Chains A and B, each alone.
Chain A
Amino acid sequence: KLNIGVDIIQHGVEGLVYLLTESSKLMISEVDFQDSIDVLGFSDELNKSLLQLYLDNRKEIRSILGELAPRLPSYHSLEWRLDVQLASRSLRQQIKPAVTMKLHLNQNEDQTAQVLQTDPATLLHLIQQLEQALGEMKMNHCRRIVRNMK
């Protein structure tokens, strides 16, 4: 319909894609974007459309690019249950409390579930350690870094 060769259209599309992804990746400002495309010598109207295209789509492009980054399995949820072992083949008449858990993790769109168990003492230790971890975010050191790195 456009009466132009396939090659030219392909290059055009690739060029656009490159322009938008690089700009979104670097999160460049409007001014910088305009300066960059001015060099290309297009009409003002075209430059305006390109800028609008960039601003409209950059959030979505960034979130897609974010998916491509290397990732460890990430936490999804945790189910737990209280068990008491009453007997085993080697010993009768026990009372052995345990907490059985199912940890759901996401890895690259697959969900895995792992069954784990722990005893009451370790459970309390886990809670204490992880609460300390949470507390770190609120410490001055972290706050200062987060503030200064924007």
Chain B
Amino acid sequence: ILDDPDLKDIDPTVLKHCHAAAATCILEAGKQKADISAISACLEDCKLDKERIEQFCTEYQRRELVTVVSFSIGRSPLHITDVSWRLEYQIKNNQLHKTYQPSYLVTLNVESNDSGSHPDVSFSCTMEQLQDLVGKLKDAAKSLERATQM
């Protein structure tokens, strides 16, 4: 805003305050999911004229992006975004020959809010263990489905 030619003549400090005030207003109203009538009433109390109130409300209506961002802000445990797997068949190792053991290597790709780092979780498992894991995940999915039908 500081570069906008139309606003050149206004004191930059005042401009910053105005911008901050407007942004805070929109964020707070959005946070509470306030509707237009509530905002208008509030702005009327602040002695803003009708035209200004209408303009503000029109801009406020276009706040989907702000809501989306607010929605995603917040702490949560590490969030799984994807999974990769590998099936291997072990023939021998230096301690033991003729092992003949299939195993799965599963990596859960994880995203953390804090640093954007990717502390992936990897583990190996047998077919039975993978079946157990998938069974449990399916239970969770089924109960999600049931919850949405309530």
Contacts and interface: CB of A to CB of B under 8 A. Distances in A.
A137 B127 contact: yes
Contacts, number: 162
A140 interface: no
A145 interface: yes
What is the predominant secondary structure among interface residues of chain A facing chain B?
mixed
A93 B40 CA distance: 21
Contacts of B94: 69
A120 B138 CA distance: 11
Given A68-B95, A72-B124, A77 B134 contact: no
Nearest to B78: A116
A107 B7 CA distance: 63
B118 interface: no
A135 to B, nearest CB: 10
A134 B96 contact: no
Interface residues on B, range: 35 or more
A116 B134 contact: no
A101 to B, nearest CB: 8
Interface in A103-150: 103, 105, 114-120, 122-127, 129-131, 133-134, 136-137, 142, 145-146, 149-150
B136 A105 contact: no
B127 A96 contact: no
B83 A129 contact: yes
A147 to B, nearest CB: 11
B96 A66 contact: yes
Given A78-B133, A80-B140, A99-B144, A26 B97 contact: yes
B125 A74 contact: yes
A126 B110 CA distance: 12
B67 interface: yes
A124 B31 CA distance: 30
Contacts of B84: 129
A10 interface: no
B141 interface: yes
Nearest to A96: B71
A120 B144 contact: yes
Contacts of B136: 78, 80
Interface stretch (B8-16, B17-25, B47-55, B100-108): B100-108
- Top 3 nearest A-B pairs (CB, nearest first) are A75-B125, A91-B70, A118-B80
Interface of A: 25-27, 62, 65-66, 68-75, 77-78, 80, 82, 85, 88-94, 96-101, 103, 105, 114-120, 122-127, 129-131, 133-134, 136-137, 142, 145-146, 149-150
Given A69-B99, A75-B124, A91-B30, 15 more contacts: A25-B96, A27-B97, A72-B122, A72-B124, A75-B129, A82-B140, A90-B70, A91-B67, A117-B77, A118-B79, A118-B80, A123-B137, A134-B131, A137-B87, A146-B102
